[in-house]
Amino acid sequence: MTDVSAGRERLTDQLSDDVLVSWLYDMQLIREFETRTAQAYQQAKIGGFCHVYTGQEACCVGTIAAMEHDDPIVTAYRDHGHALARGMTPEACMAEMFGKITGCAKGKGGSMHMFDKPNHLYGGHGIVGAQTPLGTGLAFAARYQWEVMGEGSKKVALAYLGDGALNQGSFHEAQNLAGLLNLPVIYIVENNGYSMGTSIERGTTMADNLVLKAKGYGIKGLQIDGFDILNVYNQFKPLVDECRDLQRPGFVDLKTYRYQGHSMSDPQKYRSKDEVEEWKSKDSIAALLSHLMSERSAVTEADWKTMQKDIRDRVKKSVDFAESSPDPEMSELTTDVYANPQPNLSPTEDYRHGVRNPLL
Amino acid sequence: MPELNLVQAINQALDQEMTRDSRVVCLGEDVGANGGVFRVTEGLAAKHGGHRVQNTPLDESGIMGVAIGLAMADMRPIPEIQFEGFLGPAYDQLVNHGARYRNRTRGAIPIPLTVRVPVGGGIHAPELHSDSPEAIYAHTPGLKIVMPCTPYDAKGLLLSAIRDPDPVIFFEPKRVYRSFKEEVPEGDYTIPIGEAKLVSEGDDLTLVTWGASVFQALEAMDHLPDDVSIELIDLRSIYPFDMDAVARSVEKTGRCVIVHEAPLTCGLGAELSARIQEQCFLHLEAPVQRVTGFDTVMPYYKLELSYLPDAERIGKGVRECLAY
């Protein structure tokens, strides 16, 4: 995992302090948000299942920073970070998990289904790997709309997946189609080393060189240290530019680690505390902060304290917002199943007794 | 007016809609130069280009997923799944994604998708190539399902399906593909999804069916005594189905026989029967009768005709219902 740009000027060196400080802000926002998410889940304010992103922040912030705003994105169920990095407000994201009408999907989707069409986020997805053909289809549409319909510009779609999804058939069908049809989609494996409780070595072949899997489909792949956001950007941005230019697919094995369990109810018997601590010692937020403080002198201790406090207040506000927002009305049960209500189907207002008994 | 068979009518609808709307893209196994397994898309790639009639590998999950991704981006994809049994690998994408996005996103991301699927038995094919799974998909909120059995209805319903803002499964009864021709207007016309067709009027009994069974029902009616007056309804739309038309007819006749190729248990006939007793209870002169396939795997061709409801079994069901 050497930085290919080592020895020459790195792309991030050309970025302003402000840009890098905004990355720091986004990463810390996601971390604080997930801390509050976990608390709210434990207080039973969030229903269903919940998977927090803590530890992986450099992955979504670093890769999304390399994209244009109208490049479409799909991801899996550990999706709060991607939503925030893409510009969803913490209020809409938190309220969605609380099942409130003010959520990004009016409390319909929940933790695993963050959708934000204005920010070109086409969803978190609950079925492992099943989002990858959708990202391929979004790439198909993007290329068609640019090339055939003369709309917009060249786009690249991102399809994030976890390392557990590497073994799903749909992902292999998606890669084959993208390679075959020249579709501009980059599959980003956020490789945190575990598919639920199964380590990657026990779950997939060629675990130390996943790029080989993409090579089998004629897709260019990179292995990137996803714990160093500068490295993520420096290696990922040229791949995005190339895929955009050539309208070809790409693949990234983005090495990362999650500090928390797979979900909120994971006893974590499959890994040691030492292993978790070792990764934490290389924390991506701490590394970026150190770069901004020592190498750039762009952030002071006081700045960092202020930023942390701002973020705490902002996330707290999102929790308050979610808590005080109204529940969906009963009538929301049957809205948006079809574009128009269908006659004669799905009686919902009352139990239906058929025609009134004329004898009564 | 030119006479077309079912295949030609569907082909014409696809051709005209591709010409009208550049967002329409067909994709599937061999849909390009070969024209698909039943040649329904023949000539479309030559006319509209391979990029709009996109050949794919044999990968139904990939085809359906990519089609749904296209629909998410406001395209009008029309995937072809070669046989209804091959919907199995695509089921996850169709049911867990396609059917639910409108609701999951609160209307922000509709899925204007039309899935073309040959359906049903009668062509001497084995199981997975002769099944009738319409009830499985009718049980999935968010999907619409149609099954026209005439060239005229096929063109009008296909144009409706492509223009519908929600995902539609367009089942094509393969037994009818080339069985007959009828006049089909060359111009643009649509048939609303959810509207049944009154094939023939009658007073004594309502016969409700759809797909290739409509023709078995017509044959059965030919063999009934002249003084028996049957009202035949071709449902055409499986979901939403036209309960008003069925109830109106049953309230008039007081008797109803439902015919479908799919197995009896939990078939659409069960739902129709339940709705009829809910809505027409005091009008009924006899229990609703069902003449259907059996609760077994669709048999290979030697037993195929024993499995499918034919004129003889339908006639028996009608006579029993009338004699009740």
The Cα–Cα gap between A42 and A45 comes to 8
CA distance A328 to chain B (A): 12
Summarize pLDDT for A257-308 with one digit per residue, the tens. 999 999 888 889 899 999 999 999 999 999 999 999 999 999 999 999 999 9
Q: Which helix (H) or strand (E) holds A62?
A: helix A57-64
Record the pTM: 0.90
Place of tokens 């296209």: B70
**Residues B74, B109: one domain?**
yes
Q: Between chains, do B93 and A170 touch, taking CB under 8 Å as contact?
A: yes
pLDDT at A9: 82
Q: Residue A196's closest CA among A140, A258, A132, A112?
A: A258
Q: Taking residues B236-261, what's their average pLDDT?
A: 97
**Residues B131, B278: one domain?**
no
Q: With contact defined as beta carbons under 8 Å apart, do A216 and A224 qualify?
A: no
pLDDT at A335: 79
Residues 311-350 of A with CB under 8 A from B: 335-339, 342-346
Q: Which of B96, B106, B141 sits opposite A127 (nearest CB)?
A: B96
The Cα–Cα gap between B142 and A337 comes to 5
Summarize pLDDT for B258-308 with one digit per residue, the tens. 999 999 999 999 999 999 999 999 999 999 999 999 999 998 888 899 999
Q: With contact defined as beta carbons under 8 Å apart, do B10 and B172 qualify?
A: yes
Does any CB of chain B come closer than 8 Å to the CB of residue A137? yes
Does any CB of chain B come closer than 8 Å to the CB of residue A161? no
Residues 6+ apart with CB under 8 A from A320: none
Residues 6+ apart with CB under 8 A from B82: B28, B29, B36, B37, B118
The Cα–Cα gap between B265 and B192 comes to 29
Does any CB of chain A come closer than 8 Å to the CB of residue B55? no
pLDDT at A352: 44
CA distance A332 to chain B (A): 9
Active site residue B51: no
CATH code, domain with B41: 3.40.50.970
CA distance B180 to chain A (A): 33
More confident residue, B163 or A106: B163
pLDDT at A4: 52
Q: Taking residues B175-199, what's their average pLDDT?
A: 98
**Residues B177, B273: one domain?**
no
What percent of chain B shows pLDDT beyond 70?
100
Q: Which of B102, B106, B243 sits opposite A344 (nearest CB)?
A: B243
Q: With contact defined as beta carbons under 8 Å apart, do B163 and B113 qualify?
A: no
Q: Between chains, do B73 and A138 touch, taking CB under 8 Å as contact?
A: yes
Q: Between chains, do A130 and B194 touch, taking CB under 8 Å as contact?
A: no
Query: Structural domain tally of chain B?
Result: 2
A42, A153, A233 from A245: Cα distances, Å: 46, 11, 18
Would you call B56 helix, strand, or coil by DSSP?
A: strand
Q: Is residue B50 part of a domain?
A: yes
Q: Is residue B253 part of a domain?
A: yes
Query: Amino acid identity of B106?
Result: R
* Last residue within a domain, chosen from B183, B207, B240: B183
Residues 227-256 of A with CB under 8 A from B: none
Q: Between chains, do A343 and B96 touch, taking CB under 8 Å as contact?
A: no
Q: Catalytic: which of B48, B97, B129, B260? A: B129
Q: What is the DSSP letter of A185?
A: E
Residues 163-182 of A with CB under 8 A from B: 169-170, 173-174, 176-177, 180-181
**Residues B54, B93: one domain?**
yes
- pLDDT for B161 beyond 50: yes
- pLDDT for A1 beyond 50: no
Q: Which of B66, B92, B104 sits opposite A136 (nearest CB)?
A: B66
Q: With contact defined as beta carbons under 8 Å apart, do A200 and A212 qualify?
A: no
- Cite the DSSP H helix spans in chain B: 6-20, 44-48, 60-72, 87-91, 101-104, 134-138, 151-163, 213-222, 243-253, 268-280, 301-307, 311-323
pLDDT at A30: 98
Q: What is the DSSP letter of A196?
A: T
The Cα–Cα gap between A57 and A266 comes to 20
CA distance A119 to chain B (A): 12
**Residues B14, B118: one domain?**
yes
Q: Between chains, do A134 and B240 touch, taking CB under 8 Å as contact?
A: no
Structural domain boundaries in chain A: 11-328
Residues 6+ apart with CB under 8 A from B279: A354, A355, B243, B247
CA distance A159 to chain B (A): 11
**Residues B140, B272: one domain?**
no
DSSP of B197-215, one letter per residue? EEEE--SSEEEEE-TTHHH
- pLDDT for A359 beyond 80: no
Strand partners, B77: B25
Would you call B48 helix, strand, or coil by DSSP?
A: helix
Mean pLDDT, chain A, integer: 92
φ, ψ at A111 (rounded to 5°): -50, -40
What percent of chain B shows pLDDT beyond 90?
96
By mean pLDDT, which of A157-171, A278-292, A341-355 is the weakest?
A341-355
- pLDDT for A360 beyond 60: no
Q: Is residue B188 part of a domain?
A: no
**Residues B154, B49: one domain?**
yes
Q: Which of B61, B166, B194 sits opposite A133 (nearest CB)?
A: B61
Q: Which CATH fold topology does A11-328 show?
A: Rossmann fold (3.40.50)
More confident residue, A3 or B68: B68
Q: Residue B89's closest CA among B110, B58, B67, B68?
A: B58
- pLDDT for A49 beyond 90: no
Q: Is residue B189 part of a domain?
A: no
A48, A102, A114, B67 from A99: Cα distances, Å: 10, 8, 12, 30
Q: Between chains, do A354 and B281 touch, taking CB under 8 Å as contact?
A: yes
Which residues in chain A are closer than 8 Å to B65, comparing Cβ atoms? 130, 132-134, 136-137, 170, 173-174
pLDDT at B49: 97
pLDDT at A354: 45
Summarize pLDDT for B95-128 with one digit per residue, the tens. 999 999 999 998 899 999 999 999 999 999 888 9
A124, A141, A148, A255 from A144: Cα distances, Å: 24, 5, 5, 32
Sign of the CA dihedral A277, A281, A287, A289?
A: positive
pLDDT at A345: 62
**Residues B71, B214: one domain?**
no
Count the residues in chain A: 360
**Residues B107, B57: one domain?**
yes
CA distance A89 to chain B (A): 16
- pLDDT for B45 beyond 60: yes
Q: With contact defined as beta carbons under 8 Å apart, do A17 and A289 qualify?
A: no
pLDDT at B114: 98
Residues 6+ apart with CB under 8 A from B315: B220, B223, B224
Q: Residue B71's closest CA among B33, B111, B39, B15?
A: B111
Does any CB of chain A come closer than 8 Å to the CB of residue B237? no
Q: With contact defined as beta carbons under 8 Å apart, do B106 and B116 qualify?
A: no
Q: Where are the beta strands (DSSP E) in A152-263?
A: 157-162, 185-191, 194-195, 198-199, 220-225, 250-255
What percent of chain A shows pLDDT beyond 70?
92
Q: What is the DSSP letter of B130?
A: S
* Last residue within a domain, chosen from B183, B208, B233: B183
Summarize pLDDT for A192-222 with one digit per residue, the tens. 999 998 999 999 999 999 999 999 999 999 9
Domain that holds residue B156: 3-183
CATH code, domain with B280: 3.40.50.920
Cα angle: A277, vertex A279, A282; to 5 degrees: 110
Max CA distance (Å), chain B = 59
Q: With contact defined as beta carbons under 8 Å apart, do A275 and A282 qualify?
A: no
Summarize pLDDT for A307-340 with one digit per residue, the tens. 999 999 999 999 999 999 999 887 777 778 888 7
Residues 89-118 of A with CB under 8 A from B: 105-106, 108-109, 113, 115, 117
Band the pLDDT of A343: cuts 50, 70, 90: low
Would you call A89 helix, strand, or coil by DSSP?
A: coil
Does any CB of chain B come closer than 8 Å to the CB of residue A83? no
Tell me: cis bond preceding B240? Omega within 30 of 0 counts.
Answer: yes
- pLDDT for A174 beyond 80: yes
Task: Bin A344: left if φ > 0, else alpha if -120 < ψ < 50, else beta.
Answer: left
Nearest chain A residue to B244, by CA: A344
